[in-house]
Amino acid sequence: MYLPKKDVLMSHVSGKAAMRIWHPCTQMKDHEKHPPVFIDRGQGIYLYDRQGKSYIDAISSWWVNLFGHANPRIAKAVTEQLTRLEHVIFAGCTHAPAEELAERLLAVVPEGLTRVFFADNGSCAVEAALKMSHAYWRNLGRPEKCKFIYLSNGYHGETAGALGVCGDRLYAAPFTPLVVPQIEVVGPECHACPLGLARESCAAECFGGMEAAIKAHADELSGVIIEPLVQCAGSFRMHPPAYLAKLRQATTAAGCHLIADEIAVGFGRTGTMFACQQAAITPDFMCLSKGITSGTLPLSVVLTGDAVFDAFYHDYHDDKAFLHSHSYTGNPLACAAACETLRIFEEDDVIIANRPKITHLQAAVRQRFAGHKHVSDIRSTGWITAVSLAADPAAGRPFDERDRTGFRIYREAIKRGAWLRNLGDMIYFMPPYVITLEEIDRLTDIALDAVEAVLG
Ligand SMILES: *Cc1c(COP(=O)(O)O)cnc(C)c1O
């Protein structure tokens, strides 16, 4: 007979369970001193722990939540789908939520993207795009086109293939022997422009290095992958649309693909529905995830145009089909959440309605942090505003890493009721779109209090 071990079964009561679960991106020893916060429920922009204390979710639960926790519209859509069809094999079958989602997506993405491939998380969408890009060239008789250019500080997920195109080596370095090396090119460093140009008047004059690399590697190059407008995990480095426009031109001229990883910036984060739209470009591949289900369920897609699709369209005896599959591909519940997300965008005119909130958030952060003695830079694109902190900004001297300044600010913000997870010695704001102007003021007040509690 099967009998669970009693001490294990009761460990969630004794508090030992916390150490049995291995949390992501976490030094587990930290939890000896700071056990994970037990979140009991969520409502709108707030998370509530078991004692009923609330936290403003300032970073949208790792950038996924758009319309608040336990959103009733999304909940209803998922619940209705749950009692009809929870999942079905996606090879040989299709279903209404996937069909509707494909239609809704293709109606809002850049012109020329006409096909939707499903996966179930961001990293896997990147894997699928890299494989599809190379397989395209192989199907055309150019198997030597198998390399990818990525930008320094770029982040594209943490599966082995995706790590090969991560410029943020923090995540890839420990796994070097497992990762296929690709080609790194120095990306834009607009917050400290080496050419001394102001962001407003810049025409991506720094693009020369990228252009030269694309030309030099054209014969072996499958594609170039970029996070359009904002490298989120890469310390929120931001570049102007002009850089994307030049990249589109250069990749087309060299005969290689442009892969736009809009996993973090898609669905309104940069102020437009998709970041590529600010440069009026259509990439050959667009990867979407995170906000796609409003942060309800895991789902991702890779979008392509007809040219890519047609290269895989063949008779069975000459099979060139795209071999890539996940058990939960096209999960109906996730697709239902994504359909409802896109309905909210349309019916509530979200992109327009967001504008005053974006302006207010950017101004509120500047008001509180500009001129602060430890602030070295404040930068914003749409909903994303990041504040970098340094021991001596004027001298360019960072804090000693062992001080864990950012982490301590994060802890202070938690005490004060805001989930403001740091990125190194940087704090950033990327709240759900349902935040109000008053809540923006409260959140930025808490952030300043937390910074002052640590830095005086
Ligand atoms: C989060 C992220 C990914 C990876 O997505 P996961 O769902 O975490 O695997 C890839 N690219 C970008 C730009 C991201 O921000």
Percent of the chain scoring above 90 in pLDDT: 89
Residues 32-84: tens digit of each pLDDT: 988 999 999 999 999 999 999 999 999 999 999 999 999 999 999 999 999 99
How many domains does the chain contain in total?
A: 2
Q: What is the pLDDT of residue 18?
A: 61
123 annotated among ligand-binding-site residues:
yes
For residues 414 and 291, state if they share a domain.
Answer: no
Average pLDDT, the chain: 95
Residue 285: C-alpha distances to residues 128, 130, 271 (Å): 10, 9, 21
For residues 47 and 84, state if they share a domain.
Answer: no
Please indicate whether residue 412, judged by its CB atom, sits closer than 6 Å to ligand 1.
no
For residues 140 and 275, state if they share a domain.
Answer: yes
160's tokens: 């082995």
Burial of 31 (0-12, 13-18, 19+ CB in 10 A): middle
Which of 339, 252, 302 has the alpha carbon at shortest distance from 115? 302
Contacts of 20 (CB under 8 A, 6+ apart): 8, 11
Q: Using 50, 70 and 90 to split pLDDT, how confident is the model at 19?
A: confident
Please indicate whether residue 155, judged by its CB atom, sits closer than 6 Å to ligand 1.
yes
Q: What is the pLDDT of residue 201?
A: 83
CB atoms within 10 A of CB 41: 12
Mark which of 347, 362, 397 sits at the end of a domain: 347
* CA 451–ligand 1 middle distance (angstroms): 28
* CA 161–ligand 1 middle distance (angstroms): 13
Contacts of 30 (CB under 8 A, 6+ apart): none
Q: Using 50, 70 and 90 to split pLDDT, how confident is the model at 443?
A: very high
Residues 274-328: tens digit of each pLDDT: 999 999 999 999 999 999 999 999 999 999 999 999 999 999 877 899 999 999 9
Please indicate whether residue 405, judged by its CB atom, sits closer than 6 Å to ligand 1.
no
Q: What is the mean pLDDT of residues 398-404?
A: 95
For residues 271 and 378, state if they share a domain.
Answer: no
For residues 56 and 102, state if they share a domain.
Answer: no
Q: Using 50, 70 and 90 to split pLDDT, how confident is the model at 17?
A: low
Which of 56, 26, 22 has the alpha carbon at shortest distance from 449? 56
Please indicate whether residue 420, judged by its CB atom, sits closer than 6 Å to ligand 1.
no
Range of the domain at 133: 75-347
For residues 389 and 323, state if they share a domain.
Answer: no
Please indicate whether residue 231, judged by its CB atom, sits closer than 6 Å to ligand 1.
no
Q: What is the pLDDT of residue 14?
A: 52
Residue owning the nearest CA to atom 3 of ligand 1: 157
For residues 93 and 206, state if they share a domain.
Answer: yes
Mark which of 325, 347, 369 sits at the end of a domain: 347
7 annotated among ligand-binding-site residues:
no
For residues 60 and 118, state if they share a domain.
Answer: no
**221 belongs to a structural domain:** yes
